[in-house]
Structures are given as structure tokens and as C-alpha cells.
Amino acid sequence: MAGLPIARPIPAGAAKRRRISDEALAGWISISPWLLGFVVFTGVPLLASLYFSFTKYDVIRSPEWVGLDNYRRLLTNDRLFPLALRNTFTYALMAVPLDVATSLGAALLLNQARRWQGVFRTIYYLPAITPAVATSYLFIWILNPNAGLLNRGLRFLHLPAPQWTVDPFWIKPTIVISQLWVLGGSMIILLAALKQVPAPLYEAAWLDGAGRWRRFKDVTLPMISGVLFFVATVGTINALQVFTQGYVMFDKNGGPEQSALFIVMYLYNRAFGTGTFQMGYAAAIAWILFVIVVAITVFQFRLSKRWVYYESGDER
């Protein structure tokens, strides 16, 4: 027997470990292009911007460490930053609920359509793939106080014609209106959710005597609440980063009374405005915005436990 190799059983755990290790390696290799891209194009710039936010930096000259000066000045000695914050929050508070409501309304109507649903779905989705610059220009003309289509119609009906693009009171509603036209993305997601609601639930509710409203309130809404939460959360994050509409429909300073000066516009002006190049200051604005967005999102997640229903019972 001596000299003969003795096959020793390999411990099951070790084989499993190696197999897992191989799988993990393959996994890492597979996602390595993304990882590399993330590190190079997102991770490093992210950390760099955090560093720059503590400096005075104009790209041409070396960054000069100023500690918390940028943040201190932003929060205590800058007239425009609080204005931009206020404008952005006001816009988000108007835009997000209206966007969710109109998207849901459109999705419900589409879900009712027995014929040509595909055609209507396409038509409603088209504005979402139209460039934001084009839709902004379109609405600046539709809402032109003097010669716009909307005010001509209102005057024809002897109704008051607001100074949409001129009166600071109407500036944000003007942008919200132009945004509501672009409801296609949220609508498609909500329509998909509506189609997932099990028909037996409606039948059961109907047999129990529930009317349309009760069926909507007690069956539809809870069953799509997860998707509604998603649409609202993503909508909020997008609304807090609104830029194109304010920049194109008005100007880089936000039009009358700077009512359309949003945080990202202000950030852009500080970073790339003519002769400005205050990259450090702009980075500080970006980080404050980031903290605000995270805080609001965490708040929304906490709040969601009260109203979002997950069929699986898993709240995550």
C-alpha cells in the first residue's frame, strides 16, 4: 500500500469556498468595466469635488485651502443661495405632486382604454423624448403674455390672462405647466403598475359592494403604492436638480426677480459664469444640495412605511 497515492476526500466546505471564490472572481471581472468607469468618472470626481469645496479654485491656478469659508459664506453671506433654495423647494413642492397626480390620471385613463391603447400610450410618451430645450421654447411661446396661444384663448373667453413669463408670481407655475406636458416617463411606469393589480381583488371588492372610488382608494392605490413611492421619490430628486427649463425659458439669472434661479443654475453660474470660475464655491453648493437630497430621500423612505404597501410583505 505504501507509495500508493491515497485519495483524500476534499472537505465539502473547501470546494464550496473555492467555487464561490471562482464565481466571485467571475462576477468582479464581469462588472469591472462598470467599476472602472464608476471609480474614474464618478468616484474620484465626487471625492475631488468634496476637496475642492474647501478651496478657492478657478482651474487655472492651484486650489487654495480656505477651510469652511465657502460653506460659511453660502449659509450666512450670500443673498442668492437662500433665494435659489427657496425657488427650488417651491418648484419641487408644486411640480412633484402635480406630476404624480397627472401621470396617475393619464395612466388610469389609458388603462381604461379598450382600443388603441398603444397609439395613445405612444402619443402621451412622445413629449418625454422631445428635447427639454425644444419643449421649453415651445412653452415660452404658448405662455407668452401678449401673443401666446393660452392668453389669446383666455382673452377670447373674457378670462383674466396672467403675465405667465413676466410676473414673478407666475414664473414657477409656468415652468411646472411646461413640465406637466412631459409626463410620459412616470405615466408608463404607473400604467405598468396598474396592469399588475390582480383582477380578483377588484372582483372581490365589487362583490363586497365597493364602488369605483372605494375600489380605487382601497385596492388600486395600495397595490400601486410602491410604484407611486418610486415615482414621487425620483420626481423629487429630479425636481431639486431642475436646470434646463429655468435656463432656457428665462435666462441664467432666472428671469424676473430671479424667480427661476434654481440651485443647479446658481451652481452653474458660479462655476462657469462669464469670468467667474468659482469652482470651490460651486462644489460647496453641490455638496449642500447633495446633503439636502439625501435628507429628503431618507425622510421619504421613513414616511413610506406608513403608506406604502408591499405585497411580499417586505418593506424594502
Partner 1 sequence: MDEQSGRRGPSLGRPLSRRAVLRGSAALGGGALAASLAPGRVGRRAAAQDAPKPQGKLLSWGYGTENPVAQARIEDFQRAFPDVQLEIVPEFDDAKLLTAVASESVPDLLWLDRLATAGWASREVLTPLADLIERDGYDTGRFYESALAEASYDGQLYGIPGSMDLRVLYANLDALAEIGVDPATIDTGNWDRLNELGAQLVKRDGDQIQRWGFDHKVWSGFFYLWGVGNGGSFMNDEGDEVTFDDPKIVEALEWGVKGFDDQGGFQAFEAFKTTFQGDEQFARGQVAMTMYENWMLGITARVAPELPFAVLPVLPRGGGDGFASFTGGRGWYIPQGAQNPEAAWAFIKHMHTDENWLVAGNAAKAQRKAEGQPYIPSLTGSKTADQAQLERVYEPIEAKFDAAVRLFPEVLAGSPTREITASPGATLLNQALENEGILPALRKQKEPAQALADADESAQNELDLL
- Cα Rg of the chain (Å, integer): 27
Angle between helix axes 117-125 and 80-112 (nearest 10 degrees) is 170
Give the contact letters, 38-77, x = binds to partner 1 (CB under 8 A), - = no: ------------------x-xxxx-----------x---x
Residues contacting partner 1: total by CB under 8 A? 28
CB of 59 vs partner 1, minimal distance in Å: 5
| Of the candidate residues 2, 275, 312, 316, the single one contacting partner 1 (CB under 8 A) | 275
CB of 134 vs partner 1, minimal distance in Å: 18
**Residue among 108, 120, 103 nearest 212 (CA):** 108
**Residue among 267, 262, 291 nearest 89 (CA):** 262
Residue 209 or 275: the one with the smaller Cβ distance to partner 1 is: 275
Q: How many CA atoms lie within 13 A of 151 on its CB side?
A: 18
Residue 53 or 165: the one with the smaller Cβ distance to partner 1 is: 165
| Of the candidate residues 112, 274, 305, 306, the single one contacting partner 1 (CB under 8 A) | 274
| Of the candidate residues 23, 64, 257, 315, the single one contacting partner 1 (CB under 8 A) | 257
For residue 152, state whether it binds partner 1 (rule: CB under 8 A).
no
For residue 166, state whether it binds partner 1 (rule: CB under 8 A).
yes
The three grid cell numbers given for residue 313, joined into one nine-digit string: 410583505
Show the beta-strand stretches assigned E in 24-142: 55-56, 64-65
| Of the candidate residues 63, 222, 226, 273, the single one contacting partner 1 (CB under 8 A) | 273
**Residue among 222, 214, 235 nearest 193 (CA):** 222
Scan residues 213-232 and list those touching partner 1 (CB under 8 A).
Answer: none
End-to-end C-alpha distance for the chain, whole angstroms: 60
| Of the candidate residues 116, 146, 159, 315, the single one contacting partner 1 (CB under 8 A) | 146
Residue 124 or 139: the one with the smaller Cβ distance to partner 1 is: 139
Q: How far is CA 267 from CA 7, 151, 162, 196, in A?
A: 69, 34, 30, 41
Place of cell 430621500: 297
Q: With contacts defined by CB under 8 A, name the span among 39-47, 103-111, 231-239, 266-274 that binds partner 1.
A: 266-274
CB of 58 vs partner 1, minimal distance in Å: 7
Contact of 308 with 226, CB cutoff 8 Å: yes
φ/ψ of 138, rounded to 5, equals -55, -45
| Of the candidate residues 49, 102, 238, 276, the single one contacting partner 1 (CB under 8 A) | 276
Residue 229 or 266: the one with the smaller Cβ distance to partner 1 is: 266
Q: Is 87 exposed, middle or buried (0-12, 13-18, 19+ CB in 10 A)?
A: buried
| Of the candidate residues 272, 299, 307, 310, the single one contacting partner 1 (CB under 8 A) | 272
Enumerate binding residues for partner 1 (CB under 8 A).
56, 58-61, 73, 77, 79, 144-147, 163, 165-168, 253, 256-258, 272-278
